[in-house]
Amino acid sequence: MKNINTDIAITYLIVSKKFTLVAVLGVLLGMSLYIFMNSMLVGFDRVSNDSIFKNSPHIRIFKDGAISQPLQQSDQIKDIIINPKIVPATNNIENPYEIIQLIKNETFVTNVSPQITTTLFYNIGLLQVTGTVTGIIPNQANEMFDIQTNVVEGQIEDLTDNVNAIAIGKGIAQNFSLGIGDNINITSSKGVNKSMKVVAIFKTNNSKLDDTKSYVNLNTAQQLLMESNTYITDINVNIKDPEIATEKGKILSNITGYQSESWLEANESLMAAFTMRRLVIKIISFILLIVAGFGIYNILNMTVSQKINDIAILKAIGFKGKDVVMIFLTQALSIGAMGIIGGIVLDIALIALLQKVYIGGDIGYFPVGFEAGKFIQGIVIGGIIIFFAGYIPAKKAANVDPISIFRK
């Protein structure tokens, strides 16, 4: 048997169709914008992180320079070094392959790759252009940074086992008018001069990188620095959850005895900007939901005022306070449910549509996806707001004193 409270609530909703519709539209728009903006935020964060992770690993392990210390550490005698300096020791990691194995043994680690970064000159005639060269193990680095997706010509894998191969940025290629198979002469910071064959040209979202950066085989980098094949300056580590890179970095630092730096620390100002973006979008979307709640509150308040005679008579003929609350709460929740369902449908359409919109650059298609979590979050938060937006006027209706109405 249909509940009489529900019956009355539905009749009220149908009688004031226009108001119901306006309230439903309010919830619909608020809800769909809330879910859409939050889903978009997830997409934006993903794109931003992806572009960061193309250049920096989750954690970088390296040797930090140390301030010179007295040779003898003693409590009795205080040796003082006047004008202490960073010890001019090498910045390479001792026993790198053993350390890499040590890091690989940690369960949270997904990917480890050694790397050497040094400065060099690209020579063309008398002209010298400064730049940086990164020595990598191509397949490992490709797995970590997905370098191949930025390559516009050639193959990054061609660096493997080829000490004379180099992958250069698009900017260098243009400035020197180089193509695949052409030669480029480089001079390392240690004065080693080498003629290299271009096997790949890459283009990133950062033109400064494209103008200066190049990749070579790890062994080539060691040769350029006149070092042995155990010379490694950085160990790049990727982990399962990049959000906790700082904490995991400290653990790795303790295990290896070398300094660690997470991508969060390395990109601090960028992270601050992301946090701000997140905050602004979350606040705005939340306010939109609240506004939708006000819509319901308003319309219900109006219904209560309009139907005050009905409320009085219902209370006289035996409807309890909670029955009256149910009548008006049912209206609010029905409006809310219709709005939420409509909002979700609109979102699905909007996201499906925008996913097909090409933005360009390294973003490609509009970065928004179906984020189930954000949909649920929207429904839960929206539901709570709608409940209170309905409950407050409903409670007011329940407190109507029928005598004061009848005696008017």
Partner 1 sequence: MNILEVQHISKYYYNPVPFQVLEDITFTVNKGQLLSLIGKSGSGKSTLLYILSTMDTDYTGKLWIDDELITGQSNDELAKLRNEKIGFVFQFHYLLQEFSCIKNVMIPALKLGKYSVEEIEYKALAKLEMLGIKDQALKPANRLSGGQQQRVAIARALINDPHIIMCDEPTGNLDTKNTALVFDIFRQLTSELGQTIITVTHDESFAKNSDRIIEVVDGQLLL
What's the min distance (Å) between Cβ of 392 and partner 1? 20
By CB under 8 A, the residues from 373 to 402 that bind partner 1 are 402
> One-letter amino acid identity for 220?
T
Is residue 339 within 8 Å of 24, Cβ to Cβ?
yes
By CB under 8 A, the residues from 11 to 40 that bind partner 1 are 11-12, 15
Looking at the DSSP bridge assignments, the partners of residue 151 are 202
Helix (H) / strand (E) element for 18: namely helix 17-53
Is residue 332 within 8 Å of 294, Cβ to Cβ?
no
What's the min distance (Å) between Cβ of 386 and partner 1? 24
Three-class SS state of 134: strand
What's the min distance (Å) between Cβ of 26 and partner 1? 23
Is residue 178 within 8 Å of 197, Cβ to Cβ?
no
**347 touches partner 1 (CB under 8 A):** no
Binding mask 309-338 for partner 1 (x = CB under 8 A): xx-xxxxxxxxxxxx---------------
**Other CB atoms within 10 A of residue 262 CB:** 24
Find the binder of partner 1 among 4, 81, 283, 376 (CB under 8 A).
Answer: 4
Is residue 302 within 8 Å of 37, Cβ to Cβ?
no
Looking at the DSSP bridge assignments, the partners of residue 133 are 118, 214
What does the DSSP assignment read for 291-317? HHHHHHHHHHHHHHHHTHHHHHHHHHT
What's the min distance (Å) between Cβ of 407 and partner 1? 7
Torsion of CA 186, 189, 191, 194, to 10 degrees: -20
Window contacting partner 1 (CB under 8 A); options: 176-184, 233-241, 305-313, 388-396:
305-313
Tell me the C-alpha distance between 316 and 300, whole Å.
22
Tell me the C-alpha distance between 407 and 111, whole Å.
80
Window contacting partner 1 (CB under 8 A); options: 6-14, 186-194, 329-337, 386-394:
6-14
Window contacting partner 1 (CB under 8 A); options: 9-17, 20-28, 82-90, 188-196:
9-17
**299 touches partner 1 (CB under 8 A):** no
Q: Phi/psi class of residue 146: alpha, beta or left (left: φ > 0; alpha: ψ in -120 to 50)?
A: left
Looking at beta carbons only, is 66 or 403 nearer to partner 1? 403
What's the min distance (Å) between Cβ of 391 and partner 1? 18
Tell me the C-alpha distance between 25 and 350, whole Å.
16
Is the Cα dihedral 332, 335, 341, 346 positive or negative? negative
Looking at beta carbons only, is 365 or 406 nearer to partner 1? 406
Looking at beta carbons only, is 178 or 312 nearer to partner 1? 312
> One-letter amino acid identity for 218?
L
**302 touches partner 1 (CB under 8 A):** no
Looking at beta carbons only, is 137 or 313 nearer to partner 1? 313
Residue whose entry in the numeric block shows the structure tokens 């191969």:
165
Looking at beta carbons only, is 270 or 313 nearer to partner 1? 313
Helix (H) / strand (E) element for 142: namely helix 138-145
Window contacting partner 1 (CB under 8 A); options: 8-16, 35-43, 224-232, 338-346:
8-16
Total of chain residues touching partner 1, rule CB under 8 A: 26
What's the min distance (Å) between Cβ of 22 and partner 1? 19
Window contacting partner 1 (CB under 8 A); options: 5-13, 33-41, 61-69, 256-264:
5-13
What's the min distance (Å) between Cβ of 340 and partner 1? 26
Is residue 368 within 8 Å of 40, Cβ to Cβ?
yes
Looking at beta carbons only, is 256 or 330 nearer to partner 1? 330
Beta strands per DSSP E along 125-164: 127-136, 151-154
Looking at beta carbons only, is 208 or 322 nearer to partner 1? 322
What's the min distance (Å) between Cβ of 4 and partner 1? 4
What's the min distance (Å) between Cβ of 23 and partner 1? 18
**Other CB atoms within 10 A of residue 35 CB:** 29
**403 touches partner 1 (CB under 8 A):** yes
What's the min distance (Å) between Cβ of 328 and partner 1? 14
Window contacting partner 1 (CB under 8 A); options: 1-9, 48-56, 81-89, 328-336:
1-9
Tell me the C-alpha distance between 223 and 382, whole Å.
62
Q: Which residues in this chain contact partner 1 in the complex, by CB under 8 A? A: 1-2, 4, 7-8, 11-12, 15, 309-310, 312-323, 402-403, 406-407
